[in-house]
Structure 1
Amino acid sequence: MAASPDDARPTSNGNRSKPVRNTQYMIAPAGPGISAQTLAEQLSQLGNILWTHDQRGVSGPPIAIVRMPDEAAAALRRSTAGSLIIEPDSHLRAASFAGPGAAFIPAAATMTALGPDLKVTIRIVSETGAPVEQANVRLIGEQASTQGQTDRDGNVDLTLRDEVPETIAAIFVNACSGHWGLWQQQPNIEANAVNTLTLRPLPLPDRLDWGGEAMRFDQIPDHCRGADIKIALIDSGVATSHRQLAGIKHGIDARSGEDRSWSKDITGHGTPCAGIINAAARADHGIRGYAPESELHVYKLPLDARCSDLIAALDDCLQNGIDVACVGVGCERGSALVEQHMAMAKQQGVSIIAAAGNSGQGVLFPACSPHVMAVGAIGRMGSFPDDSPQAAQAAAATAAAGGLFVPPFSCRGSELDLCAPGVAIMTCQSPDGYAVCDGTSLAAAHVAALAALILADHGDFKGSFIAKDAHRVERLFQILKDTAQPIGHPWQTGVGLPDAARALGIWSDQRPLAMPLNAGLRQMRSAIRQLDRIPFGASRAMMFEPPRGPANVTRLPLNPAPLAFRTAGAGTATVHELRAAMALAGLAEGP
């Protein structure tokens, strides 16, 4: 990752040095009447102006990206008396490829060192004995953890401090593509030796991935393919070298504005999402995009992406007439300037669907905004091997209905709108392979694809809501939410799992997913005990507290009328009903 522009440098003061922290800020006028040139002149003496948004021809008030000492920023706030919006240009982090849960990561070491550093060599091979290159290997000890990536011979050398082979608690292996990952508890690891581990091959399915079936993409007509709908993927780029993604022709680097680098994805984060949305179908396997005839526009974010890059991408969405923007990144600190540009995008008919985040805490920004649809992740039991990293996520998960579960990494809170498949998703991977991926960005991609189908084929968007405005966005969000199947507590799953067939008004037998009233006592207790443990909001103090909450929707009757779900005679239990039932049975939760 590129070095952070935020740094601390000492300044000499006699024989003493005082560190000066330089932070990257976004600065914009709070009202009209100030040009970009005037703003730049006003700020030129205070810090290093990296660039201004007017250089990209963006809409809205000018924004200057400035690197300056924190003290200078504080002084500028005082001197301008609210005439300028001054906020840190926060880093964004990807919402995919979730690592081991917190239960597997050791706390800081508190014990006396056990001896010299433990040095081990791990060799990763396929079932044929061929080395697996670029596999990520993570060792978890009682006191520390370490990770590395295998070389062309499949080897990686790792060092653990304050550990011996007997204290290694777990090992996680994730292949770049072509193989299932591996999870072993209490692995038999030897020091000063080559420890060989074998990965299972990843056979390509002959039908839709489990996520497509769970959302009932398999129940919609073949002509529902998202034609004429423009989807923006705001992520790390897309590897158009992949045979199923070669048809993607539109993209730009969100920071530099150049139009070439977007077609490469060195982190492999955006490519899986593009596969879910737009991958062309093939006759030899079932992996395909759910909106393959949509026009995908790729907005590549750099490795050190910040909120200013997200603003640039959103403004490009307006210029290109985007219908749906899928955002796979987020941060804990809110941004008034990003909020302004998201509101502007909504007013022009851009429906923003964002990953809730992978920290397992409160819903990240921008997903927590009421202008945005926030999507969390779910998994399904039986969709992965018992010794895979996904099995580790399931072991620490919260059970939901129908064999589904909420993985511990998925962010949660009252701002969550929907949940969608985001564990063990088989999809395209850079440069031309296939991988099993996890994360809320994959869940958001599923919902973005369904949104494109609704906009393309639902009657409302050929009539009353054809105009690209905020009413169109809210109507789309209402259809997505009102036709979803409830599967768990709203703080963990939003209103539920989207149903493609029902959202498009197609009658077919419903797959019952609602939690029956005879749910297991263990599931009831687990759900209830977690209600008061979910942290609300961001974990860091905010200079700007964005409005939070689920996405705003247009409250109108659905057309066609929503269909009743068949629950095989089982009702749907709320938390209050569960508590009442447990109390009557003498099973109320203890202190």
Structure 2
Amino acid sequence: MTKQAKSGAADSQQTPTVLQDGAGDARADTGGSPAPLRGRPVTERKKKYLIAPRAVLGGFGTSSWMAPLGLSAVQQALTAMPDIDVVDTITPRASLATASFGPSSTGDSAEGVVVARMTDQKAGELLQRGQGQLLVERDQHLALLDPMLRRPDLVSSLTPYQGPQCELLLAVLGSDGAPLSEVEVSLFGGVLPSTAVTGPDGVARLRLYGDDAHTISGLYVKPRADYWSFYQRDPDLSLEEPNIVMLRPLAEWPALRGLPQQNAMGWGARAMRLDGVPQHYRGRGIKVAVIDSGAATTHGNLSEIHEGFDVVNKRTDRSTWNIDTLGHGSHCTGVIAATDAAWGIRGFAPEAEIHVCKLFPGGQVSQLIDALEYCIEQGIDIVNMSLGGAAPSEALERQIVRAKQAGVACIAAAGNSAAAVQYPASSPHVLAVAAIGKIGEFPPDSYHAETIGADIDMYGYFTARFSCFGPQVDVCAPGVAVVSSVPPNNFAAWDGTSMAAPHVTGLAALVLAHRPEFGAMVQARSPERVERLFQVLRMSARPVTLNDPNHIGYGLPDALVALGLPAAQQTMPWQSAAAGFGAPGGMHAMAPHDGGWLSATGAAMQHQGVQFQGMQHQGMQHPGIQHQGQGLPYPFGTVRVSGW
């Protein structure tokens, strides 16, 4: 073929060339094509970044920036720059004499942060021009620390185009035989996992690739509320007729008998000995903020909450904090302060003043900074953060330090990735809480049983398999099969360090309200008060499980010890280990409660092929605490700071 012929053949097969006129319309030059192709070229989209002057200020050379810089100067310079859109400016709403990140000589405060949209390339240029004196970081998305279902470990994306397919029917019923709707059903194994939700008839219709149900390795049934979950390994399933799963109501469990008509105390509260605390210890006078997905005040246990701030929707309606579409914030808030004394679940501090900061769905670091500024402004004593980000944030760390200087104690969930402690729990200025569970506090055929580790101690306590670990862990708390409030007026048993952190937050509220030494310090808001509170919580803890301090920190806080109340002296295996944790002399032991694993499951128990009989508690080592500077830059993933 000649060169001209090849060229002609290529020309006859070439695709239309997209052109763009001055108005931005694209048109196709196809030599008489019937319709022009209109659109716009694909380019990098702008992302949100956080920009703020750093503590050490100075000029930016020959750039257009003013020197030295304050926040308003940064905002003005960003507004004047092309291709940068200023979205928001978060400035201090409450002045702190002790908190300063370097005000400029012009009187323009360096505190706060500017939120702006720009491309990654533009952010890189901005960072370079700042010469280390300007904070420029991506406004990363945050996630609620709710343990995600991780079976199987790898999900293939290769969906078969051809081959046999079949439908498996699974009916979910309550104990009375009535169908249950909106129940999530998941099958694992086979060619691909499959998930469906039950309809009004209680039936979930799941598509299977292949025609052999024996390849299914797991069946998980997850109700929205009021029932225990169900998990069956290697289920025997039929493709010829509907398969039936009957769920157990939460109220049929011995420790929850009569829920919600009769008030019940969760196993976690009992494990921390809240049942031994006098009834008039209710947290009055203490302000607690829950930064989460909101709190449904339609719930009988949350109806006394009247303060809040919808951070995500603050420009449209900041009063929608009481709409909780996820239920996560309602669950955490119920653990802290469920209020009705005769109905539902008993919270730790039912008379504490709760402030709800709604951050999810869609929360980012900039909005968490805004929520913490609200906490400073409102004089919040304790903040519960059952959330985390993919990486540490210098801008958020500055705000956490600012909150601590204002006397705000931040308590955070360690994370549920079974890896290193996530941020912000890894911050040295935050109390990090890991999760434990206890044998006998949930049905053995529920999915909660899948969280059991191999470190069960003689009282049935174990480290949750999903819980993050590391030297940053301060304490552990119940985070498996925790029953609490969910919208609109129901209850659910959930797992996660998200559920563990509120246990410690609730106890912290009681300590501030009722421990005598804090009586004169409630008004004296300071970082010293925060450190003393953290010290009391750590020193009240007792070692549980057979794991090391990287997984449990100082152990499980004890309400009676933390509140300075008398407790019956017991001879327990953990008492000798408590001294290794720096526990004060005369710290009292914990008496076992009803529902302990020995009484619930017998003296010997078989779980996952391992027999636990006559186990002895192992000795534990002190989680060597070292002091490190509190300024920035700061090392993350290091040993925790000590204020004492």
The TM-score normalised by the length of structure 2 is 0.74
Identical amino acids, percent of aligned pairs: 36
**Taking structure 1 as reference, are residues 25 and 401 closer, same or farther at Cα in structure 2, changes over 3 Å only?**
farther
Distance across 2 between alignment mates of 1:142 and 1:57: 56
Structure 1 position 434, deviation (Å): 1.1
Give the equivalent residue in structure 2 for 1:45.
82
Residue 276 (structure 1) aligned with residue 335 (structure 2): yes
**Taking structure 1 as reference, are residues 445 and 170 closer, same or farther at Cα in structure 2, changes over 3 Å only?**
same
**RMSD, matched Cα:** 3.3
Residue 309 (structure 1) aligned with residue 398 (structure 2): no
The residue correspondences of 1:16-27 to structure 2 (distance < 5 A) are 20=44, 22-27=46-51
Which has the greater radius of gyration? 2
Deviates more, 1:39-48 or 1:399-408: 39-48
Aligned partner letter, 1:262: W
Deviations 1:166-201 (A, max 9, x none): 111111112111111111111233347543322111
Residue 547 (structure 1) aligned with residue 636 (structure 2): yes
Deviates more, 1:506-515 or 1:64-73: 506-515
The residue correspondences of 1:116-515 to structure 2 (distance < 5 A) are 116-161=164-209, 164-191=212-239, 194-203=242-251, 204-205=256-257, 207-257=264-314, 258-283=317-342, 287-394=345-452, 396=453, 398-400=455-457, 402-463=459-520, 467-487=524-544, 488-509=547-568, 512=572, 514=574
Are 2:93 and 2:377, in contact at CA under 8 Å, matched by a contact in 1? no
Give the equivalent residue in structure 1 for 2:70.
34
1:94 pairs, out of 144, 150, 173, with: 144
**Taking structure 1 as reference, are residues 191 and 546 closer, same or farther at Cα in structure 2, changes over 3 Å only?**
farther
Give the equivalent residue in structure 1 for 2:98.
none
Q: Secondary structure at the match of 1:514?
A: helix
Q: Secondary structure at the match of 2:450?
A: helix
Are 1:172 and 1:183, in contact at CA under 8 Å, matched by a contact in 2? yes
**Taking structure 1 as reference, are residues 464 and 449 closer, same or farther at Cα in structure 2, changes over 3 Å only?**
closer
**Taking structure 1 as reference, are residues 114 and 486 closer, same or farther at Cα in structure 2, changes over 3 Å only?**
farther
Aligned partner letter, 1:20: E
**Taking structure 1 as reference, are residues 495 and 143 closer, same or farther at Cα in structure 2, changes over 3 Å only?**
farther
Are 1:94 and 1:330, in contact at CA under 8 Å, matched by a contact in 2? yes
Structure 1 position 67, deviation (Å): 2.7
**Taking structure 1 as reference, are residues 455 and 497 closer, same or farther at Cα in structure 2, changes over 3 Å only?**
same
Are 2:141 and 2:365, in contact at CA under 8 Å, matched by a contact in 1? yes
Structure 1 position 144, deviation (Å): 3.4
**Taking structure 1 as reference, are residues 373 and 215 closer, same or farther at Cα in structure 2, changes over 3 Å only?**
same
Larger RCO (CA within 8 A; separation ≥ 6):
1
Q: Secondary structure at the match of 1:288?
A: coil
Aligned partner letter, 2:143: R
Structure 1 position 462, deviation (Å): 1.9
Structure 2 residue ranges without an equivalent (≥5): 1-25, 30-39, 58-68, 96-109, 578-603, 622-632
Q: Secondary structure at the match of 1:426?
A: strand
Distance across 1 between alignment mates of 2:417 and 2:437: 16
**Taking structure 1 as reference, are residues 371 and 161 closer, same or farther at Cα in structure 2, changes over 3 Å only?**
farther
Give the equivalent residue in structure 2 for 1:566.
none
Deviates more, 1:307-316 or 1:135-144: 135-144
1:82 pairs, out of 116, 132, 137, with: 132
Distance across 1 between alignment mates of 2:190 and 2:433: 34
Q: Secondary structure at the match of 1:467?
A: coil
Aligned partner letter, 2:245: L
Distance across 1 between alignment mates of 2:491 and 2:505: 21
Structure 1 position 107, deviation (Å): 5.3
Aligned partner letter, 1:261: T
Q: Secondary structure at the match of 2:437?
A: strand
Distance across 1 between alignment mates of 2:112 and 2:307: 26
Q: Secondary structure at the match of 2:499?
A: helix
Structure 1 position 276, deviation (Å): 0.8
Deviates more, 1:157-166 or 1:197-206: 157-166
Distance across 1 between alignment mates of 2:274 and 2:573: 16
Give the equivalent residue in structure 2 for 1:560.
none
Q: Secondary structure at the match of 1:402?
A: coil
Distance across 2 between alignment mates of 1:446 and 1:353: 10
Distance across 1 between alignment mates of 2:118 and 2:196: 35
